[in-house]
Amino acid sequence: MYVELKDINKNYGNFEASKDINFGIEKGKLVALLGPSGSGKTTILRMIAGLETPDSGEILIDGEVVNDIPASKRGIGFVFQNYALFRYMTVWDNIAFGLKVQKADKEYIKQRVDELLTLTNLKGFEDRYPTQLSGGQRQRVAFARALAPNPHLLLLDEPFAAIDAKVRQELRSWLKEMIEQLGVTSIFVTHDQDEAIEVSDQIILTNKGRIEQIGTPLEIYQNPETAFTAGFFGKGSKLDYPQTFRRFDIPEGVDDLLVRPEFVEVTKKDEFQKYSNSVSEGTIVEAEFRGDWIELKVDVDGNVINARRAPEAEPVEVGERVNVLVYKLLVTENDKARILYNESVREPVVVI
């Protein structure tokens, strides 16, 4: 493991900002710290950086305990959400800043800044000041500045939060490619599940100062282990009257039942119906075209659930009665989550 946190605790007064934090990050990986606002992501990042001291526990970088090593000696690059660039410096001087502090050789600085201008697509902008740049360009300067001294570890705290959706999307793919190309171990903080899923090799999910689950984006999405994780990922709808869904063996005493849109199939009454003895009836209450799919809300005996239909399929209309087939549910009980399959779906298909 390149970065390791062992039994880290951090309180602010009586408030537990980090509680029993344990994780490891392999060299060269891009890991997302994901969680709602206030869940302790920035606190973890600041402790790794050396800007904050844990109350107990150890932080290791490259096998060495760094608890007592100052921030400036940890070989870390930062990009923060509002990491203000130096306003009175040009792009070139901003990028060169860290190298000048290190008193690097003049020729080397020239060559390195040039390299970074190319890497971040900022060639031609070197004489501009930050106010003469777009938000996306400014964040690329911030990346270049962080990367200039060749950090072993790159920490990014919600770097795209202040940038509008379209540019943010472009920056995400760009960042992922750039980090893969450079091979620098990186920790990316975000509260946006889509961003974490798209960008990272691994997600560390935080909630109330604790870690809920660690895994690849797909593992966490498909197999949420806790109630929090089940609710945080995907666009689940809670079922208020689950008994209306046929052929689910729902155990006594469960806390919540969640259904995600991808667990549901909505068909018109005259369409071919799979697993017909598992089907419930519902009424379309909303149907909105979203480009790649039609987003539906369907009322099934008082449960309003989200579902999707392909834009190519015959349209369904608000008020229309439809068949609703739920393949599986997420069940939560005592903070644990698991998947419950429709009995018809789990039965082996007999081919005659």
Ligand X SMILES: Nc1ncnc2c1ncn2[C@@H]1O[C@H](COP(=O)(O)OP(=O)(O)O)[C@@H](O)[C@H]1O
Residue ranges in contact with Mg ion by CB under 5 A = 42
Q: Given the complex with Mg ion, which of 42 and 213 has the nearer CB atom?
A: 42
Length of the chain: 352
Q: Given the complex with ligand X, which of 38 and 231 has the nearer CB atom?
A: 38
Residue 39 contact, options ligand X, Mg ion, none, Cβ 5-8 Å cut-off depending on partner type: ligand X
Q: Does 162 bind ligand X (CB under 6 A)?
A: no
Q: Given the complex with Mg ion, which of 47 and 95 has the nearer CB atom?
A: 47
Least distance (Å) between residue 37 CB and ligand X: 4
Which of these ranges, 31-39, 96-104, 238-246, 341-349, lies near ligand X under the rule CB under 6 A?
Answer: 31-39
Least distance (Å) between residue 18 CB and ligand X: 8
Least distance (Å) between residue 12 CB and ligand X: 3
Least distance (Å) between residue 338 CB and Mg ion: 31
Q: How many residues contact ligand X, by CB under 6 A?
A: 11
Q: Given the complex with ligand X, which of 41 and 112 has the nearer CB atom?
A: 41
Q: Does 224 bind ligand X (CB under 6 A)?
A: no
Q: Does 37 bind ligand X (CB under 6 A)?
A: yes
Structural tokens at position 229: 């994780």
Residue 243 contact, options ligand X, Mg ion, none, Cβ 5-8 Å cut-off depending on partner type: none
CA angle 112, 60, 74 (to 5 degrees): 30
**Residue choice 30, 31, 39, 172 for contact with ligand X (CB under 6 A):** 39
Q: Does 35 bind ligand X (CB under 6 A)?
A: yes
Q: Given the complex with Mg ion, which of 12 and 241 has the nearer CB atom?
A: 12
Q: Given the complex with ligand X, which of 44 and 257 has the nearer CB atom?
A: 44
Which residue lies nearest Mg ion, judged by its C-beta? 42
Q: Does 38 bind ligand X (CB under 6 A)?
A: yes
**3-state helix/strand/coil string of the chain:** CCEEEEEEEEEECCEEEEEEEEEEECCCCEEEEECCCCCCHHHHHHHHHCCCCCCEEEEEECCEECCCCCHHHCCEEEEECCCCCCCCCCHHHHHHHHHHHCCCCHHHHHHHHHHHHHHCCCCCCCCCCHHHCCHHHHHHHHHHHHHCCCCCEEEEECCCCCCCHHHHHHHHHHHHHHHHHHCCEEEEEECCHHHHHHHCCEEEEEECCEEEEEECHHHHHHCCCEHHHHHHCCCCEECCCHHHCCCCCCCCCCCEEEECHHHEEEEECCCCCCCHHHCEEEEEEEEEECCCCEEEEEEECCEEEEEEECCCCCCCCCCCEEEEEECEEEEEECCEEEEEECHHHHCCCCCC
Q: Given the complex with ligand X, which of 211 and 330 has the nearer CB atom?
A: 211
**Residue choice 5, 8, 17, 294 for contact with ligand X (CB under 6 A):** 17
Which of these ranges, 37-45, 99-107, 161-169, 194-202, lies near ligand X under the rule CB under 6 A?
Answer: 37-45
The 8 Å CB, 24+ separation contacts for 11-15 are 11/55
Positions that interact with ligand X (CB under 6 A): 12, 15, 17, 35, 37-43
